Amino acid sequence: MSLTYREAVRRAMCEAMRRDPRVFLMGEDVGRYGGCYAVSLGMFQEFGPERIRDAPLSELGFVGAGIGAAIGGMRPIVELMTVNFSLLALDQVVNNAALLHHMSGGQVAVPLVIRMATGAGRQLAAQHSHSLEVWYAHVPGLKVAAPATVADAHGMLAAALEDPNPVILFEHMLLYGLEGELPDDAGPADLVHAAVRRPGRDISLITYGGSLPKTLEAAARLAERGVDAEVVDLRVLRPLDTATILASVRKTRRAVVVDEGWKTCGLAAEIVATLVEGAFYDLDAPPARVCSAEVPIPYARQLEEAALPQAATIVATALAAVGARV
């Protein structure tokens, strides 16, 4: 069956809610409004106000309430609207959700799923265009994932709901309209492995989330230039599947990491460090990064485009890396 990324997320939530009375959805405008990005459209009508719970503008409060509800035996899905507002709730995510299991010596589990839209590309300007996946991926105790396909939008959410740990799911806002196939009996996806989205021999393009379409496009353009690029979708940002990344780069001996976050101290830096630690002697060229420019994302279209990773930049960077062959 063909559906959109948005519908796939919704389907995963509805399936879980029909099956498991412990699952509920809570967040700003998830109910009567139908979801800021229409992800939960119609769910209020099916499940009612207790289980599709509109929350006031209190990110810290309702994320903390999600943690408490998880401790209390529920399986909450908290929607944070966007990563931009998640800063207000970070204390609860880091100091409670991530740490409680450890601080309690293993007694308390927090089976909480937090979903949020992320990314730029819609001219929403600096306060509404963050990509802070890397911050979450830094924190032990959290699992962090970024579904980049319709199947993963469904399957990773289903898997997150079965996980006894806090799982943070990043949904790039430009992916919601993406169309794809999903079998009627699709179940949970794995929350462990990276995926090779396009096999190739000459260079590994490593990316995740909203940058996957651009990277696949770059790979197609590279193919026209005679460069056979492998595209690796990280899928899970914490814990990282280093084995898959290293295997790809050991084969291709070159890598470009594509990440919409700012370059300095971004997720791409971790991938580069991982490659260097695990495959230094297999590398024919230094792994390169294509990230956002070191600037708050500007409103004006041409400036925003210049600030974000684009297929053309990926292509140029990959060509330079391949040209570096000795």
Partner 1 sequence: MSTELPAWPAEVDLDRGRAYLRDMLRVRRFEEKAAEVYQAGHIHGFLHLYIGEEAVAAGALPELRAEDAVFATYREHGHALLRGVSAGAIMAEMYGKAEGCSRGRGGSMHLFDAARRFYGGSAIVSGALPMAVGLALADKLLGVPGLAACFFGEGAMAEGAFHESLNLAALWHLPVLFICENNLYAMGTALAVSHARTDLAARAASYGLAAEAVDGMDVLAVAQAVAHATRAIREGLGPHFIECRTYRFRAHSMFDPELYRSKEEIEAWKARDPITTFAARLRAHGWLDDGAMAALEAEVAGEVAAAVAFAEAGSPEPVAALLEDVYA
Ligand X SMILES: Cc1ncc(C[n+]2csc(CCOP(=O)(O)OP(=O)(O)O)c2C)c(N)n1
What positions carry a catalytic annotation? 59, 128
- How many helices (H) does the chain have, and how many strands (E)? 13, 14
Kindly identify the residues of this chain, within the stretch 271-300, that bind partner 1 according to CB under 8 A. Answer: 293-296, 298-300
Tokens 């790979």, located at residue: 219
At 242, the amino acid letter reads T
Nearer CB in complex with partner 1: 22/250: 22
Q: Where are the beta strands (DSSP E) in 147-292?
A: 167-172, 179-181, 195-198, 203-207, 229-233, 236-238, 255-262, 288-292
Choose among 12, 17, 86: nearest CA to 50.
Answer: 17
- Given partner 1, ligand X, a copy of itself, none, residue 109, with its beta carbon under 5 to 8 Å by kind, binds partner 1
Which of ligand X, partner 1, a copy of itself, none does residue 122 bind to, with CB < 5 to 8 Å depending on kind? partner 1
CB of 57 to a copy of itself, least distance (A): 12
Footprint of a copy of itself on 112-141 (CB under 8 A): 125-127, 130, 134-135, 137-141
Stretch touching partner 1 by CB under 8 A, among 5-13, 91-99, 216-224, 249-257 = 91-99
φ, ψ of residue 32 in degrees (nearest 5): -60, -35
CB-nearer residue toward partner 1: 106 or 226: 106
Distance separating alpha carbons of residues 93 and 60, to the nearest angstrom: 9
* 255-261-267 Cα angle (round to 5): 50
**CB-based contact 258:264 (threshold 8 Å):** no
Q: Give the Cβ contact number of residue 36 at 10 Å.
A: 16
The number of residues that bind partner 1 (CB under 8 A) is 76
Pick between residue 38 and residue 88 the one whose CB is nearest to ligand X. Answer: 88
Q: Which is nearer to ligand X, 81 or 219 (CB)?
A: 81
**If binding is defined by CB under 8 A, does position 55 make contact with partner 1?**
yes
**DSSP string of 102-161, one letter each residue:** HHTTT------EEEEEE---SS--GGG----HHHHHT-TT-EEE---SHHHHHHHHHHHH
Binding track over 96-115 against partner 1, x by CB under 8 A: x---xxxxxxxxxxxx----
Residues 21-40 that bind ligand X (CB under 6 A): 28
Contact positions with a copy of itself (CB under 8 A) in 63-82: none
DSSP structural state of residue 296 = P
- Residue 191 makes contact with a copy of itself by CB under 8 A: no
Binding partner of residue 303 among ligand X, a copy of itself, partner 1, none, CB cut-off 5 to 8 Å per kind: partner 1
The tokens describing 111, both together, are: 């089976």
Amino acid code (one letter) for 17:
M
Query: Which is nearer to partner 1, 108 or 247 (by Cβ)?
Result: 108
Asked if 137 is part of the footprint of partner 1 (rule: CB under 8 A), the reply reads no
The neighbour count for residue 84, using CB atoms within 10 Å, is 19
Binding mask 136-165 for a copy of itself (x = CB under 8 A): -xxxxx------------------------
> What minimum distance in Å lies between the beta carbon of 228 and ligand X?
44
Q: How far apart are CA 133 and CA 146, in angstroms?
A: 8
Between residue 45 and residue 64, which ones bind ligand X under the rule CB under 6 A? 57
Is residue 141 within 8 Å of residue 126, measured between CB atoms?
no
Q: Which residues in this chain contact a copy of itself in the complex, by CB under 8 A?
A: 60, 84, 87-88, 90-91, 94-95, 98-99, 102-103, 125-127, 130, 134-135, 137-141, 238-240, 261-262, 264-270, 272-273, 276-277, 280, 283, 285-289, 294-296, 298
Q: Which residues in this chain contact ligand X in the complex, by CB under 6 A?
A: 28, 57, 81, 85, 88
